[in-house]
Amino acid sequence: MKTTPDGRPVPPAHADERAMLEAWLDFHRATLALKCSGLTDDQSRLAALPPSTMTLLGLVQHVAEVERKWFQRVFARLDVPPVHGDNNLDGYALRPDRGLDEATARWQVEIARGRELIADASLDDCGRLSEQDAGFVGDQEVSLRWIMVHMIEEYARHNGHADLIRERIDGVTGA
């Protein structure tokens, strides 16, 4: 596999659908990790610009929750609690005792668990949405293909946020 100069895996130019989806999802995961690399805990807690309170630490916590929701709760239909507790359903809230290293480790655990759960699944296999989420999607069942495309979109959108936050912290741009 080829990598970018900063070490991220380059998605293949030609591959089957499953390999392409997995590669792009991994690329976007690696992009967020890169955006957070080399930061102190204090830096990872710096917000974008008011009125936003979004931080890189909050983004890492959020994507850990997103990984759990879509691969464990929706696809595998597991009854698992929120990653960061019932008072932090979206993952954005920060705690003084949780730093970037701990949040990143938790995120990687969630990624690994998701990979396990979908390893032998077909892209046509379906997960089940809550009634509330089904109202937005228009169906209570979504295919693994839909989930993977949604995850790529989720990471791509948040990587744009991460670009702006990181630039504000120390001027680092790109990736």
**What would the pLDDT profile of 109-161 be if each residue is shown by its tens digit?**
999 999 999 999 999 999 999 998 989 988 999 999 999 999 999 999 999 99
Reported pTM? 0.94
Which pLDDT score, from 0 to 100, does residue 60 have?
A: 98
CA distances from 125 to 79, 80, 139, 153, 168 (A): 19, 20, 14, 20, 42
pLDDT in tens, 86-122: 888 898 999 999 999 999 999 999 999 999 999 999 9
H or E stretch covering 108: helix 100-118
* 174 has pLDDT over 90: no
| Bond into 51 cis (ω within 30) | yes
Q: Residue 173: phi, psi to the nearest 5?
A: -125, 170
Q: Is residue 168 over pLDDT 80?
A: yes
Express each pLDDT in 18-63 by its tens digit: 999 999 999 999 999 999 999 999 999 999 888 899 999 999 999 9
